[in-house]
Structure formats: C-alpha cells, structure tokens
Chains A and B, each alone.
Chain A
Amino acid sequence: MCLGIPGRITAITDAGRQMALAEVSGVRREVNLACVADDGPLEALVGQWVLIHVGFAMAVIDADEAARTLDALRELGEAQEAVEAMAAGQRALEAGR
C-alpha cells in the first residue's frame, strides 16, 4: 500500500472526474489522474507511465524507471500483492458480501 506500482495510461474514461484506464502488470484498472494532470489536457497523459498509489497516479515516470521499479516490486512480492488487491477491489464492487 505504501510502495505504489507503475502502470501505463491507455485511455481517458471520464474527463470530468479525471479518470483513466491504466494497464498495471497485465491488469486493467481505472485510476485518478488529478495529481499528475497539471493544467494541460488529460489526453497528453495517454501512453505515459505513472506511479500508482491506491488508485491514484502520483508521478509521471519514464519507461526505464517503470521497468526497474516493477522488477524491484516483483522481487519484494509487492507487485503480486497490488494485482491481488485490485482484483479484491473489483470483487468487493460486484459480489454482495
């Protein structure tokens, strides 16, 4: 929860709420772009790598940094943990209890 995970922005889904689809370690997840949006158009972020913390893109990073960070997270077991947490979040929304 503290380390965050790199993901790549693939599409803007809701410009009003500053939401976008990101691909994170093979999983697709909606994330919020408010913290990395600056004042430019959101579309400019499509294709970029960002560091995602609990559903919020917190920093734009380059592809090399993203690859290195993902490696380190896999080593620590945190990449799997993040992907599982995303799946759990999805289940929480869909299933009842």
Chain B
Amino acid sequence: MKYASEFRDPKAARALLAEIARVADGLGATRARPVAIMEICGGHTHSIFRYGLDKLIHEGVEFIHGPGCPVCVLPMARVDEAVQIAERPDVIFTTFGDAMRVPGHVKSLMQAKASGADIRMVYSPLDALELARRNPDREVVFFGLGFETTTPSTALSIQQAAREGVRNFSVFCNHITVPEPIKALLDDPHMRLDGFIGPGHVSMVIGIHPYDFIARDYHKPIVVAGFEPTDLLQSVLMVLRQIAEGRAEVENQYARVVPEHGNKVSLAAIADVYEKRPSFEWRGLGEIDASGLRIRDRYRAFDAEEKFGIGYAAGPRVHPEPEGCACGAVMTGRIKPTACPQFGKGCTPEMPLGALMVSSEGACAAYWQYGGARAAAE
C-alpha cells in the first residue's frame, strides 16, 4: 500500500479498504465486471488521484469521473463571449483565476489580457463589486461561474449592488446546476452507472433532497461525501452496502458540514436573483434542459448578457469542439483521458486543447499530474 502512509489516519483507511474489498467480493465485482461509481465533483476527482485511491481500492470498484468541474464544462462559445465583453474599452472584466486559460475559439482570457484587455483576477464577486464602487466611470463585469456552491455568492453580490444602487456592476452568468446533468447521464443508454458519490459542498447549499429522484426514479444509490480520502472511502463503502442490501437511497456521509435541507439564506438569495434557463450548453455534453441559471428580470440591470446584447440574448449559436478532442466522452466517463488521441500530444497543461486539461479538478489534468503521463507512454 504505497500511499496509505500519507493518510492522516492510515489505520482507518486500511480498515475501510478491507471492508470495501469484502463487500465488493460479496457482490462478485471484478476488474472485468466492476461496480461503476461516478464521483460527480471535480474536487473528488482531484482527491482520488492525489491519494491514489483508484489504485488502492479493490479492483472491482471503478471510479467514473463526472462532469462536476465548472471550468471544464464551460463551452468555447461562452469563453468567446467573455473575451468579447472583456475587450470592450469601457469594461473591467473580473474572473476567478481558474478560467483564465480555458481556450476559446479565438483566444483565452489570458491571451486577451496579454493583448491589452483590462482583465483582472479576483477571489470573490465582492472584489468585483468593490472595483465597481472605486471605478464609477467603468463597467465592471464579473464572470459568474460555478455550481450551487458559488451561486449564492453572485446572488448576494447582485442583491448588495441593487441595494446600494451600483449601476456599473454586472454578472456574466454561467452558473449551472448539478441534478440536471446527472439526470441526462442516467437517461443516456450508453452509460452504465451503479451509484454516485455526491458533491458535498453543493449539498451544503442545496441539501440532499434534490437528489431524491436518483434513488426514487432510477433506483441508484447516492452518498453525499466530504473530500478527505477517508470521507471518499467511507462513501464508496456506503454505496456498495446499499447495492449489496438492494437499497437505493440518498445518504449523507458529510453531515458535519451538510445540513439535510441546505442553507436557508443561500437558497433564498438564489431564488430571488436567478431563474432556470430553458436549456444551457455544457462543453462536451451539449445543451441540457434546465441546467443553467439566468438573472431574473427584476435584476436585469445587472445581467451582462442583456447589458451588452451577447450570449443567449443574441440568439442561436454554433459550438463545434476542437478536432480530435474527446472531451465529451471523457466528461461522461465513457473513456479515460489517456484514451483521447490528443492526451499528452496536442493537449498538455502547458498547451491545453480542452478545459479538462486546465483546471486541477479536470480529469485530464489529474491524470497528467498524478502519473497519467506515464500511463500514456506505456
């Protein structure tokens, strides 16, 4: 057990691995016929690779990496639109650093900045709001990215801006939701998934019940998990036990942070500021019904799409992926990153072709960083 000594609690990790092996054997799970468990969240993917959990765990358990990295699923067309806004001379464009290197059709935000656009990395939408207060003669736009974990932050910032009457602040909203793409994956006849590890920090906001349909309608177990290695192992064990006992339930392994019904203030702010878009484009997955949020009419003045007449406000769009890129197949867990013809060749962290290679939470970057490069050469 090469990595287990690095665990904070190696004894607990060993015991969990042994129990997982016992239950997996009981299920008759083998390398050829594995139990397929999708970890939805990119943070979990990162943790699995960092600790080598995929190697330590019983060979009959296979991790399928889900679409839960907001930077990775950002379509090129949205990057193009972000660049378009950022290149306006009156605009200060603000973004999380993660998004800087995501390729667009023409350029990334990083490249736009290099050629003169005023693009600034911020830690929080509150930094963007403060920039707007300090620069009343400029339009400050925040690149709103992320799942339910970060959605409250932009909702609360927009509410704050409205209360203060800040007129030069707007959000280019790309917030997406977790339950809808899971439903799309479950409806995909090519997918064979036996259970899910649910994203803990998303549930900290929305609670665990938005996942009820997974158990009720699709009869699959889902366990909401923390991201420490022992959290993940324990959650895998909980999924396996449900399968062994013929149960399909939503369980909460991360109850020390995740309240059953989520965070009241966050949910109220999201409901006040946002509504569902009819559909939203996911990189590699295409348009998914009701999977994205837009700013409600009452906060229209803070919607960058409306303000600058771009994006979904500007009508239909085309979105081809770069040639030879298998991002979509990787994103849905149909193939491993190493099976992409571009992996390590046309696409590396230094010269990314797909966003999965950019963020530390992307499956391709994780494979590369933690020995996948070696595997590619084998």
Contact = CB atoms under 8 A, between A and B. Distances in A.
Contacts of A76: 46-47, 50, 360
B328 interface: no
Given A2-B70, A2-B147, A61-B256, A55 B265 contact: no
Interface residue range, chain A = 35 or more
B348 interface: no
A88 B97 contact: yes
Nearest to B263: A35
B47 A56 contact: no
A55 B153 contact: yes
A28 interface: no
B159 to A, nearest CB: 9
Interface residues of B, number: 52
B105 interface: no
Contact of A4 (B96, B126, B127, B149): B149
Contact of A88 (B43, B121, B131, B199): B121
B244 interface: no
Given A58-B263, A71-B8, A1 B121 contact: no
Nearest to B6: A75
Interface string A37-67: 1000000000000010111101101000100
B204 interface: yes
Contacts of A56: 124, 126, 152-153, 156
B360 A55 contact: no
A23 to B, nearest CB: 15
A3 B201 CA distance: 7
A65 B226 CA distance: 11
B361 interface: yes
B313 interface: no
Given A51-B204, A92-B127, 11 more contacts: A2-B150, A51-B257, A53-B201, A54-B150, A56-B126, A56-B152, A71-B8, A75-B6, A76-B360, A93-B131, A97-B92
Interface of A: 1-4, 17, 29-30, 32, 34-35, 37, 51, 53-56, 58-59, 61, 65, 68-69, 71-72, 75-78, 81-82, 84-86, 88-89, 92-93, 97
